[in-house]
Amino acid sequence: MTLADGIWQQIFTFDHYGELLALVRNSLIAGAALGLVGGLVGVFVIMRDLPFAVHGISELSFAGASAALLMGVNIVAGSIVGSLVAAGTIGLLGSRARDRNSVIGTIMPFGLGLGVLFLALYKGRAANKFGILTGQIVAVDTPQMSWLLGTSAVVLVALAVMWRPLAFASADPEVAEARGVPVRGLSFAFMIVLGLAVALSVQIVGALLVLTLVVTPAAAAARITASPVLLPVLSVVFAVVSIEGGILLALGGSLPISPYVTTISFAIYLVCRALGTRRTRKWGAARATS
Amino acid sequence: MADDTVADDDTALISLRGAALSYGERVLWQGLDLDVRPGEFLAVLGPNGAGKTSFVRALLGQRQLSAGTLKVLGRPPRKGSRHVGYVPQQATLSAQAMLRARDLVRFGIDGHRFGPRPRTGAVRRRVDEVLASVGATAYADVPVGLLSGGERQRVRIGQALVTDPRILLCDEPLLSLDLHHQRAVTELVDARRRSHGTAVVFVTHEINPVLGLVDRVLYLARGGYRVGTPDEVLTSEALSQLYGTQVDVIRVRDRVTVVAVPDEAAQEPHHPELPHGVRP
């Protein structure tokens, strides 16, 4: 009984909440940016069948971040470099879906291995090590903030410019190519954008759990709508709610942020899935009677 | 786009002279002379690997001829022309596409444009109009992933026609559709060329669904070709000459079956309705 109470208190603690909130102001801002980026990028991750690529890129991002930690340079920059190397490699080598997964499966363990090596060599605070893998909230200081927000802006502008042809190329590549859409160029450009988005997510939720921000919200939204406007909007709302909710719940305790974020994100997905089953039935019925 | 001015109506929309296409040493077809006129329905037939899809890719400007000239609307083919509609086989549409039928049609209008493009009333009306013309209004708001193969192909024909193209290129659009939907799709294409004078190039491995509609047949095989009406090309004599070996064309009522197609063609039957045991 007392043990259970102790665990419960570790998970949900709200002492001195006001003072703590001030400490994570930066994280809340970064979280909002991240939710926006993750929610939007996720739409294409699902359409282009890239969840495994997201996982692969995040492991290389982890290697980059741990190398940066070891060398004492900016961790966000290190994580971005790792991400871009992975995303570029996948984009160049695995242009066809069939090759892609084996390329990712080959790169991923190597990245993870490098990351483990760098962390083992690192003699600093243990919390720093753990944070890269499972996420952290108070780690976002001001220079990191400018990196995070700057990269988010780059991703958002790139997505705004290529949104429509990218959606066309993702849904129907043959017809898109016939209509003059640069399908291959867009494919590579999207991998780079995805690399940047993953590097951002690694900062908050950690390398192991990037999928919860870049895949789950979009997958949940896709269950309940196919509207080209509503889908990205809902995906962003789900991603922002998951991450901000996660930060606020994790604040009082001493646990990493990721279990909170992943739980909220997963709960949203389950609700959407249940709603989506009803919708699918409705469409079937509507067409049967028409 | 710069291609808003096109050649006169009377001239051929597609024109090939001495055209050849080869992959390295292997010649798909050569010496091809062909004119496709407005409103004409041309079926492209032949065994797998004869270069039917490459023919379409050349018309789309995605492949260069290895010899000869090709003119589409009076000029060399150019990628992404709004005067050329394209409908491939239904399986190339991603099952994960999180879009509604109407969004797919709209891509035909501005899917290739970069930058944000607000939805205007004119665009919406045009999309509704096209959906109605292909009989897809009932499922206009259904995600494409939930549509049947036949429904998707209707929507895609709508997408291809949304810019009022003067040429419609179809590459195996009937593949894996049931008979009912095969008929629906071919009727849409046929109605279009009759009402708007759109030239139709229709690649298929199965002539029978379109046999009653086609004006001419382009039969590609063994590096050569035959062009003419179905009655001229789909004969034992013409195809035997093309394949360089004895080929029998059997006509039963309004259906055509090609039997005893040798080697390359026999490995991958191009007339799957062929009864078992008749094949060589």
Q: What mean pLDDT, rounded, does chain B reach?
A: 86
Mutate one of B82, B93, B98 to test the A interface: name it (highest A CB count within 10 A): B98
- Asked if B86's CB is within 8 angstroms of A181's CB, the reply is no
pLDDT at B3 over 50: no
Closest-CA distance, A146 to chain B, in angstroms, reads 26
pLDDT at B7 over 50: no
Q: What pLDDT does A250 receive?
A: 84
Query: Residue B234 has which token pair?
Result: 């789909």
Closest-CA distance, A224 to chain B, in angstroms, reads 10
Using CB atoms, pick whichever of A165, A172, A284 lies closest to residue B97: A172
Using CB atoms, pick whichever of A48, A160, A284 lies closest to residue B116: A160
Closest-CA distance, A259 to chain B, in angstroms, reads 28
Among chain B residues, CA nearest to A223: B98
pLDDT at B273 over 70: no
CB A176 within 8 A of CB B111: yes
- Asked if A163's CB is within 8 angstroms of B146's CB, the reply is no
Q: What pLDDT does A269 receive?
A: 97
| Residue B272 pLDDT class (50, 70, 90 cuts) | very low
Task: Report the length, in residues, of chain B.
Answer: 280
Q: Which domains does chain A have, with CATH numbers?
A: 25-209 (1.10.3470.10)
* Angstrom distances, CA of residue B53 to CA of A104, B32, B41, B49, B130: 32, 15, 17, 9, 27
Whether B95 has its CB under 8 Å from any CB of chain A: the answer is no
- Asked if B146's CB is within 8 angstroms of A283's CB, the reply is yes
The domain made up of B14-267 is a member of CATH 3.10.20.740: no
Whether A283 has its CB under 8 Å from any CB of chain B: the answer is yes
> Which A residues 113-132 touch B at CB under 8 Å?
none
pLDDT in tens, B187-231: 999 999 999 999 999 999 888 999 989 999 999 988 889 999 999
Q: What pLDDT does A287 receive?
A: 60
Q: Rounded to whole angstroms, how far apart are CA atoms A142 and A128?
A: 17
Q: What pLDDT does B101 receive?
A: 93
- Asked if A178's CB is within 8 angstroms of B62's CB, the reply is yes
| DSSP symbols for chain B | -TT-----SSS-SEEEEEEEEEETTEEEEEEEEEEE-TT-EEEEE--TTSSHHHHHHHHTTSS--SEEEEEETTB---TT-TTEEEE--GGGS-TT---BHHHHHHHHHHTT--S-----HHHHHHHHHHHHHTT-GGGTTSBGGGS-HHHHHHHHHHHHHTT--SEEEEESTTTT--HHHHHHHHHHHHHHHHHH--EEEEE-S--GGGTTT-SEEEEEETBEEEEE-HHHHSSHHHHHHHHTS--EEEEETTEEEEE---HHHHHS-S-TTSPTTT--
Among chain A residues, CA nearest to B91: A172
Domain coordinates in residue numbering, chain B: 14-267
Contacts of residue B181 in chain A, CB cutoff 8 Å? none
Using CB atoms, pick whichever of B97, B142, B169 lies closest to residue A171: B97
pLDDT at B166 over 90: yes
pLDDT in tens, A64-104: 999 998 998 888 889 999 999 999 988 888 666 677 888 88
Instruction: Give mean pLDDT, residues B76-99.
Output: 87
pLDDT in tens, B13-54: 999 999 999 988 888 999 999 999 999 999 999 988 889 999
pLDDT at B183 over 60: yes
- Asked if A226's CB is within 8 angstroms of B99's CB, the reply is yes
Percent of chain A, pLDDT > 70? Answer: 92
Mutate one of A47, A48, A96, A164 to test the B interface: name it (highest B CB count within 10 A): A164
Q: What pLDDT does A8 receive?
A: 75
Contacts of residue B84 in chain A, CB cutoff 8 Å? 178
Confidence (pTM): 0.88
- Asked if B97's CB is within 8 angstroms of A181's CB, the reply is no
> Which B residues 66-85 touch A at CB under 8 Å?
79-81, 84
Whether A230 has its CB under 8 Å from any CB of chain B: the answer is no
- Asked if A175's CB is within 8 angstroms of B112's CB, the reply is no
Contacts of residue A176 in chain B, CB cutoff 8 Å? 107, 111-112
Q: What pLDDT does B165 receive?
A: 95
Whether B180 has its CB under 8 Å from any CB of chain A: the answer is no
Which residue positions in chain A have pLDDT lower than 50?
289-290
Q: Rounded to whole angstroms, how far apart are CA atoms B158 and B126?
A: 11
- Asked if B112's CB is within 8 angstroms of A179's CB, the reply is yes
Contacts of residue A162 in chain B, CB cutoff 8 Å? 114
Q: Rounded to whole angstroms, how far apart are CA atoms A102 and A203?
A: 27
pLDDT in tens, B247-256: 888 888 778 8
- Asked if B156's CB is within 8 angstroms of A46's CB, the reply is no
Whether B144 has its CB under 8 Å from any CB of chain A: the answer is yes
Closest-CA distance, A1 to chain B, in angstroms, reads 48
- Asked if A168's CB is within 8 angstroms of B107's CB, the reply is yes
Instruction: Give mean pLDDT, residues B81-103.
Output: 88
Query: Residue A85 has which token pair?
Result: 């190397």
